[in-house]
């Protein structure tokens, strides 16, 4: 889901006369953390249904990943948009933390994804998700927003995801349009008319 926002941002950035030079000059603190976190998460996804210990501990592991991610975002909070990303991730973190490390998913919303998915969800854990039930805390922070046509992909997301995307969007816009204040960006704006 995060990639959708970045893709859209790249497109709009180009339309606004930005370029990719700024992206080449990203300077983040602890940037190496990001791919490692992603790698660990994928490992857990693949292994949690095969190795029992990882399956049992997966919720704690997810939360730990989130904590590290939040620290990383906080370290870079001076970058435009990063506080927004932080807020989004934090919202997701909260709802997962209070629900035992699982992201609650709305059954109604999940129906847009197809019947199989609903079945799996009702049966138990899928990735880091679980179905919303009566005892779920803060259900409105869970995955309740269904995306369906005309949006090109079918997905269920949470408000945290949306906020996160807004942050990513702002960051990419900043990189592409304000990244460097050379006259070439003005030039393109003129030619666009």
Partner 1 sequence: MFVKVDLKSHEKIYTLFISILGISLIVIKDHFHTQSLEDWVLIYMLAGSITLLNFFLINLPPKDNSFSMDSSVYLATLFLYGTDLALKVLLLCSIVELFYRRKMSLWRHLFNFSMYCLMILGAYYSFLLFNGKIGAINTYNLWPYMISLVVYFSINVTLMFLFFFFSGQIFKGTFDMGVLLESTVSYFVTLLLSLVLTILLNEQRFFGLFLFTVLVTLLSFVFRKFLQLYQSVAERANRDDLTGLYNHGFFKETLKEHFADVKKLPQSFCLALLDLDDFKKYNDCNGHLRGDELLKFFGDLLQAETKEKNYIVARYGGEEFAILMPNTTKEAAFLFLDRLRKKVNDTYFIGVEYVPYRCLSFSCGIAEYEKGMYDSGELIHKADQAMYYAKAQGKNNVQIYDEENICWSQIEFKEDLEDMEQLLRIFLSKDVYTYRHSKRVFTYALEFSERLDLTDHEKQTLILGALIHDIGKIEVPRDILNKKGKLEPHEWEIIQKHVIWGKEILASNRRFEDVLPLVELHHERYDGKGYPYGLKGEEIPKLARILCIIDSFDAMTTERPYQPTKTFEEAVAELRACAGTQFDPYYAQQFIQFIETQYMPRLERTNR
User: Which region, judged by CB under 8 A, interacts with partner 1, from 25-33, 69-77, 117-125, 136-144?
Assistant: 136-144
Q: 3-state class of 44 per DSSP? A: helix
CA distances from 15 to 19, 21, 124, 171 (A): 9, 15, 44, 16
User: Which of the residues 39 through 98 are near partner 1 (CB under 8 A)?
Assistant: 83, 87
User: Which region, judged by CB under 8 A, interacts with partner 1, from 30-38, 72-80, 118-126, 140-148?
Assistant: 140-148
Please check whether residue 94 is in contact with residue 142, taking contact to mean a CB–CB distance below 8 angstroms. no
Separation between Cα atoms, residue 137 and residue 139, nearest integer Å: 6
Non-local CB neighbours of 70 within 8 Å, separated by 6+ positions: 86, 89, 90, 93
Taking the complex as a whole, the smallest distance from the CB of residue 73 to partner 1 amounts, in Å, to: 15
Closer by beta carbon to partner 1, 96 or else 132: 132
Closer by beta carbon to partner 1, 35 or else 149: 149
Q: How many residues bind partner 1 (CB under 8 A)?
A: 14
Is it true that the peptide bond before 150 is cis, omega within 30 degrees of 0? yes
Taking the complex as a whole, the smallest distance from the CB of residue 106 to partner 1 amounts, in Å, to: 5
User: Which of the residues 13 through 42 are near partner 1 (CB under 8 A)?
Assistant: none
Q: Which two tokens stand for residue 55?
A: 């399956």
Among 80, 145, 155, 174, binds partner 1 (CB under 8 A): 145
Taking the complex as a whole, the smallest distance from the CB of residue 84 to partner 1 amounts, in Å, to: 9
Q: Is 150 among the residues that bind partner 1 (CB under 8 A)?
A: yes
Helices (H), the chain: 2-15, 21-24, 33-47, 52-75, 82-98, 107-110, 115-123, 159-173, 183-191
Enumerate binding residues for partner 1 (CB under 8 A): 83, 87, 106, 108-109, 132, 139-140, 144-146, 150, 159, 162
């Amino acid at each position: 889901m995060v990639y959708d926002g970045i893709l859209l941002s790249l497109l709009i950035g180009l339309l606004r006369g930005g370029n990719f030079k700024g992206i080449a000059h990203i300077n983040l603190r602890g940037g190496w953390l990001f791919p490692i976190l992603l790698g660990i998460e994928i490992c857990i996804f693949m292994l949690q249904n095969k190795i029992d210990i990882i399956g049992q501990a997966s919720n704690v592991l997810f939360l730990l990943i989130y904590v590290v991610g939040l620290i990383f975002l906080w370290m870079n909070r001076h970058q435009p948009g990063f506080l927004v990303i932080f807020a989004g991730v934090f919202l997701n973190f909260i709802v997962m933390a209070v629900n035992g490390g699982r992201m609650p998913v709305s059954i109604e919303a999940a129906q847009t994804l197809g019947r199989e998915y609903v079945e799996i969800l009702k049966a138990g854990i899928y990735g880091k998700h679980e179905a919303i039930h009566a005892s779920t805390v803060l259900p409105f922070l869970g995955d309740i927003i269904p995306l369906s046509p005309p949006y090109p992909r079918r997905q269920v997301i949470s408000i945290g995801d949306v906020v996160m995307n807004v942050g990513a969007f702002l960051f990419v816009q900043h990189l592409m349009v304000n990244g460097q204040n050379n006259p070439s960006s003005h030039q393109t704006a003129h030619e666009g008319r």
